[in-house]
Amino acid sequence: MAFCSNCGTPMKEGAVFCHECGTKNPLNTTLPPVVAASQPVQAAPPEIKQPAYQAPPPVEPPPPMPQAAPQPQVHFGPLKFEVVEKEMLKFVKVELDNSALRYESGGMYYMQGNLELEANIPTAGGFLKSMVTKEHAVKPLIRGTGTVWLEPAFGEFTIVDLKGEEWILDKGAYFASEMNVEIGSFTNKSLSGLFSGEGFFQTKVSGFGKVVIYSNGPLEMVELNNGKLVVDGSFAVARQASVQLSVARASKGIFGSMISGEGIVNTFTGTGKILIAPAANRYVTMINYLSSIHHRVMQIKNS
């Protein structure tokens, strides 16, 4: 046991100072651990919790716009054309079986059966085309089942069956057609329309179906294979659209044209078919002859 060197008081084991006089014990140099002054502990900042990512709600597509219901395709039944001759006149007889017929205005003679006649008001463009093509602006329709007789004529009626091609018709040649045949106009070049006698505008038919063509005489077909047909006059009644029409002098040079007696001729070039009526039938010829006599008589009477 250790004793205080100053007062002799026994000291507790491990004591550094005497508990009586406070003298330091020289035998124990171990100092009690110095406790550092505690610093205020700063509280950690509160943890900010980020909101969990939430996907935006799906955007619903706008409701589809209402669309017009598709127009049902009109189905036309069979239609039969027949050319009938009575008392020097030619008639076009049409038999309809739940079908429809389009014809030139004023062309209906009489009809029998469950048939209805329709006439639609044409557009301004339709009136313009009728003025330049000599075709009526209104193309009436006859629908139903029955028999239709079209207006008779002294000339000739020819039935052409279109199979997707286009034909250019002379003025006044269109007479009637099936409903699947489209009717439009064709514009000739300026010089061709001025000097060919065909005019600037001609009727164009295209599509699928039968077309009735009127002419003064029987038609003859001429086929061109990258060839040329020269016609002195305007008796070419119809041609396929692949055939080009132009006008030219009959012979080279003005002097040659004068002495040959041939002036301007119509020239058809290309590949395709041409329908020509080189001669009027005997009835039309007789009517033209009588009309010329009547015209001369009237001239003499008025002079």
139 lies in the same domain as 286: yes
- The answer to whether residue 259 scores a pLDDT higher than 80 is no
What is the tens place of the pLDDT at every residue in 96-151? 999 999 999 889 999 999 999 987 765 555 555 555 545 556 689 999 999 999 99
Residue 99 DSSP one-character state: E
265 in a domain, yes or no? yes
102 lies in the same domain as 199: yes
What is the tens place of the pLDDT at every residue in 199-230? 557 889 999 999 999 999 999 999 999 999 98
pLDDT-based confidence at residue 72 (cuts at 50, 70, 90):
low
- The answer to whether residue 174 scores a pLDDT higher than 70 is yes
Q: Could you list the residue range(s) of the whole structural domain that residue 108 is in?
A: 79-299
99 lies in the same domain as 230: yes
Percentage above 90 pLDDT, the chain: 38
CB 74 within 8 A of CB 111: no
Residue 146 three-state SS: strand
Q: How far apart are CA 200 and CA 202, in angstroms?
A: 7
149 lies in the same domain as 283: yes
Question: For the chain, how many structural domains are there in total?
Answer: 2
Token pair, residue 192, equals 């061709």
For all residues of the chain together, what is the average pLDDT? 78
274 in a domain, yes or no? yes
6 lies in the same domain as 114: no
Q: Residues near 73 by Cβ (< 8 Å), separated by ≥ 6?
A: none
Kindly report the CATH number assigned to the domain that includes residue 248: 3.60.160.10
Average pLDDT (35-50) is 59
Q: Burial of 213 by CB count in 10 Å (0-12 exposed, 13-18 middle, 19+ buried)?
A: buried
Q: Is 42 or 31 the better-scoring residue by pLDDT?
A: 42
259 lies in the same domain as 111: yes
Among candidates 202, 197, 200, 199, which has minimal Cα distance to 183? Answer: 202
33 in a domain, yes or no? no
CB 176 within 8 A of CB 135: no
211 in a domain, yes or no? yes
5 lies in the same domain as 151: no
4 lies in the same domain as 147: no
183 lies in the same domain as 88: yes
